[in-house]
Structure 1
Amino acid sequence: MIKDELRTPGAVRDAQRWTAHNYHPLPVVIASAEGAWLTDVDGRRYLDCLAGYSALNFGHRHPKLVDAAHAQLDRLTLTSRAFIHDQFADFCRELAQLCGKDLVLPMNTGAEAVETGIKVARKWGYQVKGVTPGQANIVVAEGNFHGRTTTIVSFSTDEEARADYGPYTPGFRVVPYGDLDALTAAIDGDTVAVLLEPIQGEQGVIVPPAGYLPGVRQVCTTRNVLLLADEIQSGLGRTGTTFACEHEDVVPDMYLLGKALGGGIVPVSAVAADAEVLGVLKPGEHGSTFGGNPLACAVGTEVVRLLATGEFQRRSAELGARLHGGLQALVGKGLLAVRGRGLWAGLDIDPALMTGREASERLMTRGVLAKDTHGSTIRLAPPLVITEEEIDYALAQLAAVLTE
C-alpha cells in the first residue's frame, strides 16, 4: 500500500473534526484486536501495553467473555432494576464471594461506583455512626484520580481535571498520599470515610510506603471510619493479587470496582461491602437503569469466574517480575525511576531526553502502544494474557527509544 492510500491520516482528521477535544489520543486508528495485539486500519499491528487503563486485563476478545456476551445478546440485554433477571443473582453472589463481602451493588462506570461509595458512606455516617446532619466529611489523598463527575473533581488536585468546573462539592479533606500522620489528623467526629487508591494509577503508578495501608486500616477501625478502596484500576488481578490491598493484608470496608469487571466488552462497575454498610440503602434511594443489566451481569460473572481460578493473578505476579526486572535495568539509561506492582508500571523518563508524549509516539512507531501521564512519565499496563516473549519485545522497543 503506497503512502497516499493509507487510511489513518484521514480517519484521524475526521475524528478531530467531529469530536470534542477532551482527549489527546495517539494518531493511531484501531480496527481489530485479539489477545494483547491491536491492528490499525492500515493493517499494522501493535502490542497493547495500556489495556484500556486496565479495562482489558483479560486481553481483547477473550473467548470465554465473548461467548458469554454473544449468548446473552441472543436472549436478553436489559430489564432495568424494576424486574429481576436470571443473570443478576449469580453475578452479585459470585462477586460478593470473590470480595469476601455480604452484598454487591452493580453500577456501570467506575465514576458511578465512586459516587455510590460516597453516598453510601455519608448515609452510613448519618444513620449508623450518628454524624451531625449535613456535616459528613471524607478524607482523600493528593494526586487522586477517582473519576470525572462534578463531585469527584471537586476533591481532585489535578488542576487540568478540576479547573472551571466549580462551584465545587464540599465535604472532602485532602491530605498527602502516604502520610499517615496527616491522614490521622484530618479525621474528626464527623468523618465518615477515608477514600484511597491502594496504588495511584493516573498519578504515575505511585505505590505508598510499606505500612501505610495497614496504618490507615487501623486508624479507620479505631476511629469508626469506613475505609473505601478504589480498586478500579489496581484490582482484579492487575498487581499480582485479586486486589492491590492484599499485598499488605488489608481488607477495606468497601471495594469500588470497575474497568476489568466488564471484560473490555461492556461497562460494568460495582460496590462490594458488608450488610451493615450497604444495608443502609432502601428502595428508591439510589439506582441506575442500566446498572446490573443482563448483558453486563453475564460478562461480569464470567470475569469473576476467570479470577476465581487464580490464573491471571499468578500471570501478573510472574510476568510482572520479568517486566520490572527489565525496566530496572534501564534505570540510569534513560529512565530515572520505575514504580509499580505486577503488570503495572510507571516510568519516569529523563526529561532531558523527551516528554512522556514523545516517548509514547516513538514507541508507537515501533509497534508498542503505551500512554503518557504527567510530564515525562508513561504507564505500562499490558493485558494479563501477554507472554514472556511479548514483554521482552516491549522492553527492547523501549530501550531503543531511550537511546535514539
Structure 2
Amino acid sequence: MTVTARTGTAPRLHWAWVVAAVSFVAILGAAGFRSVPGVMMNPLHDEFGWSHGVVGLAMAVNMTLFGLTAPFAAALMDRFGIRPVLTGALGMIAAGSALSVTMTASWQLVLFWGVLVGAGTGAISMGFVATIATRWFEAQRGLVTGVLTAAGATGQLIFLPAVAAVTTQHGWRWASLLVAAGALVVIPPVVLLMRNWPHDKGLTPYGREPAVDTGPAPRPPGSSFAAAFSSLLVGARVPAFWLLAGSFAICGMTTNGLIGTHFIPAANDHGMPTTVAAGLLALIGVMDVAGTVFSGWLTDRVDPRLLLVVYYTGRGISLTLLPALLSPHADPGTWVFIIFYGLDWVATVPPTIALCRNYFGSQTPIVFGWVFAAHQLGAAVAAAGAGWLRDLRGDYDLAFYLAAGLCAAAALLCLSVRRAAPIPAPEPAR
C-alpha cells in the first residue's frame, strides 16, 4: 500500500524532530546513569569494605554489557518497535538503581549496577542512535546522529555533579534513588510521544518525497537474537565491516578506555591536583558536544572516510605530545590538548554510521550495534592494559605512545574503506 503525505494538513514540525527530542532525553539520562558507579566507589568501599577491584568488576560488567547489548536491542526494536524496548530499558535502569539500596553483598552490586543498569543503558546507546537516524531521517541524518551522540556527554555533565553532591551530603543510597527517579521520569514522554515508524503518524521520513514511500517496513521474521546474529554474519562477509569495527575499537581504546579512565591518575603522576585534572576531563565533555554536532554537520557534506582519517590522525598526534604537556599546572599546551581532544572525542560516530549505512542500508542499526560493541571491548582492553603498563613502568608514557600508533593504524583502516552500493535488505517473508 502506498502512503502519501496529507497535503494542506501536514504539521509544521515534522514528527521526526519530536522523536529525536525524546531520544535525546533518553540518551542523556542513560549516559548519566551509566557513569554513576564511579562516584559511588569510595562510599561503597568505606561502608562495606569492598575493594576497588570488586567495584571495578561491576563497572567492567556494566561497560561490557553497554556495548554487547546494542546489536540485540536494535534487533528487538526492529521486531517489536522502539517504544516498548526503550520503555523496558528505562525500567531495567530504574530497577537496578533502586534495588541497589538493599545491597548487602558484592555480587548484588555486580547484578544491579553491572547487569541491569549496564544492559538497560546499552539498549539506549549507539545502536539506538542509528535506528532513529535511519528510520526517521532521509535528510540531516548526519546532523541528527551528531546531536544524539552528543547527548551522552551532556548527560554526564548534568547528572554527575548532581549525583556527586547528593552522595556527599546525603549518602549513596539517595543518589541511587535519584537515578531510579530520573529513569522513571523519562518513561511517560517515551510512551506518549515516541513512535516506531514515520507511518505511525501518516508521514514519510524527514526529507523524503511522500510519493516514493511504499508503506511501513515489514517486521523481520524469526527471533530477535537470530536477527542480531544474522546481521553479524552479513557484516562479517564484507571487508568494510572489519575495517570499521577495527578502527572503532581503537576509538574506544583512546577515549573511554585510556583518557576517560587514566587521565586523572596520569596527571597526578606529573603533580597535577585531582581537582584540576577532573576539571580538565569535564571540559573534554563540554567540547565533545560541539565537536560531535559539528562532525554530524560535516558528515552530510564531506566524504566520511576523509573525516575519519583526519580525526584519527589528529588524535594520534595529540597523544604523542601528551606526556610532554602534563605538568603540575594546566599550561597553555595542556588546554590546547583538552580542547582538541574534546572536539575529537566521539566525532568519529557520525561518519562511521554513515559508512555503515552506505554498505548495509536498512540493516545499519543492528550492524552498527556490533561495530559499537567492538568500541566498548576496545575500551575495556585499554582500561586494563594501560593500568598494567603503569604498574610495570611507573608511568603512562608508553601507553600514550602505543595509543598514538594505534590511531595511525585506525586512519589507515578508514582510508582502506571503499565506496560501495548498499547491500539490499533481505526480501520480506511472504
Q: More helix per residue: 1 or 2?
A: 2
- TM-score, with normalisation over the residues of structure 1? 0.23
| Structure with bigger RCO (C-alpha 8 Å, 6+ apart) | 2
